[in-house]
Amino acid sequence: MKTNYVPAGISALITTICLTASLNALAAPGDGIALKPLSNDEVADLVFMREEEKLARDSYLLLSEKWGLMIFANIANAEQRHMAAIENLIVKYGLTDPVGDESLRGNFVDQELAVLFEDLMTLGNESMMDGLVVGAMIEETDIEDIQIAINRTGHADILGAYENLLCGSRNHLRAFIGQIELNGGAYTPIVLTAEEFSDIVNTPTERACGAKAGPDKKGPAKLRANGRN
């Protein structure tokens, strides 16, 4: 989804956003506690992540309507919660939200995401299996992007939100791979290394993402393939 991760198409916003963040760093909304200013990378990552989570949600809503599979509707709901978590941080730090009307699907400030969305929907509409493959592609790319953002933040609240998103994306990837295999298909990772991919899909579903809960020990995650996290 990216070359250097700072999204094309939003560079004009970043200077304004950073200035806004600096002005708001002295006063947290509502509690009077000073906020540690965000770095340029942290600002860019939050803005990008808000739209990347929207891309996932929009994709799954459309694929749910196209193919009628529960997995798409379930994970779309999870992505809506992820969008809200990032929105809360954007509001907290006084940033400019790149998402205007959340009900509009496929609308992105970042033009790379806009083009990617169209490409993914073209593929996902070819067949049900292609739709599931699109889901796996989105989730493994999200995993890589979230990990990059984790490595670039020094804020505990942002780190916690990203860890929650990362946990959810691992579960979503497990769910999509489970459905692909249950329908007789196979998937080769395109973003993660083979080892990273195997470590995720061959370990159990993680329960209560964000609550420091351990994996569910009842059985292979790939057998639970409706993706509610």
Bigger pLDDT: 33 vs 187: 187
Give the tens place of pLDDT for each residue, 119-149: 999 999 999 999 999 999 999 999 999 999 9
- Inter-residue contact 38 to 93 (CB < 8 Å): yes
Question: Are 144 and 192 in contact, with CB atoms under 8 Å apart?
Answer: yes
Q: How does DSSP classify residue 109?
A: S
Residues 6 or more apart whose Cβ sits within 8 Å of residue 166:
143, 146, 147, 150
Residue closest to 88 by CA, chosen among 13, 32, 169, 30 = 30
Domain map (residue ranges) of the chain: 11-223
DSSP-based three-state secondary structure for 204? coil
Residues 24 and 90: their CA atoms lie apart, in Å, by 11
Mean pLDDT value across the chain:
84
The CA distances from residue 11 to 47, 81, 174, 176, 229, in Å, are 11, 26, 34, 33, 32
Return the pLDDT at 32: 52
Residue 18 confidence (pLDDT): 40
Choose the weakest-confidence range: 17-21, 135-139, 221-225.
221-225
CA dihedral over 161, 104, 111, 136, signed as positive or negative: positive
225, 3, 204, 198: which is closest to 135 by C-alpha? 225
Q: How many helices (H) and strands (E) does the chain have?
A: 7, 0
Q: Which of 132, 135, 227 is nearest to 183 (CA)?
A: 132
Which pair of structure tokens corresponds to residue 100?
A: 């205007």
Q: Which of 86, 57, 203 is nearest to 146 (CA)?
A: 86
The verdict on domain 11-223 having CATH code 1.20.1260.10 is: yes
**Residue with token string 């496929």:** 106
Asked if the model's pLDDT at residue 10 lies above 50, the reply is: no
